[in-house]
Amino acid sequence: GQAPRPRAGGRRKPPSTAGTLLRLVMQHPTWAARMPVGLVPDDSPEGLALIAIIDLCSLGEPIPSGGLGALIERFRETPHAETLSRVAAELVEAEFDEAVVETLFEDALRKLQIDGVGKEITALLQRDREQGLDAAGRHRLGELLLEKRNLASSGKVSDL
């Protein structure tokens, strides 16, 4: 596949997984319906904007047609307006190649799943160190480790 066009100066750090997904969803708003909202980290403006778009879908509200402008307009009076405008400007500068967007989307979703599983594993291991795990906790940990291995082997996820 082709990589996105290199950016002038290459100063910008690569977007987070949430940032990548937000850009993909802004390019293909209907994809928001395919995203489990619980997986999206809410610790960044991109994540919060993405959650807002997914919520819009899950409420059955149609995604505004008319591209990026309409989407930004829909969120104009919200805290997400600035994030969406910034991401839209990046998209105009370097839109994802249509040949690879589907793969990018699935990779990013899988990475979110792996991150979520990883967080839960970390929490269980910490609980194990502090107070020990009961049978249910140990069982859950085993499931999570297996799930993480399956997710990791089910596709190429870059730089985990």
Q: What is the mean pLDDT of each run of 10 residues along the chain (160 residues)?
A: 47 76 89 87 92 87 76 90 90 79 89 91 94 94 92 63
Q: How far apart are CA 2 and CA 8, in angstroms?
A: 17
Q: Give residue 156's pLDDT.
A: 57
Q: Give residue 122's pLDDT.
A: 95
Q: Give residue 56's pLDDT.
A: 86
159 phi and psi angles, rounded to 5 deg:
35, 60
**Distance of CA 149 to CAs 20, 130, 138, 142, Å?**
23, 25, 17, 11
- Is residue 71 a contact partner of residue 26, using CB atoms and an 8 Å limit? yes
Q: Give residue 68's pLDDT.
A: 80
Q: Give residue 46's pLDDT.
A: 94
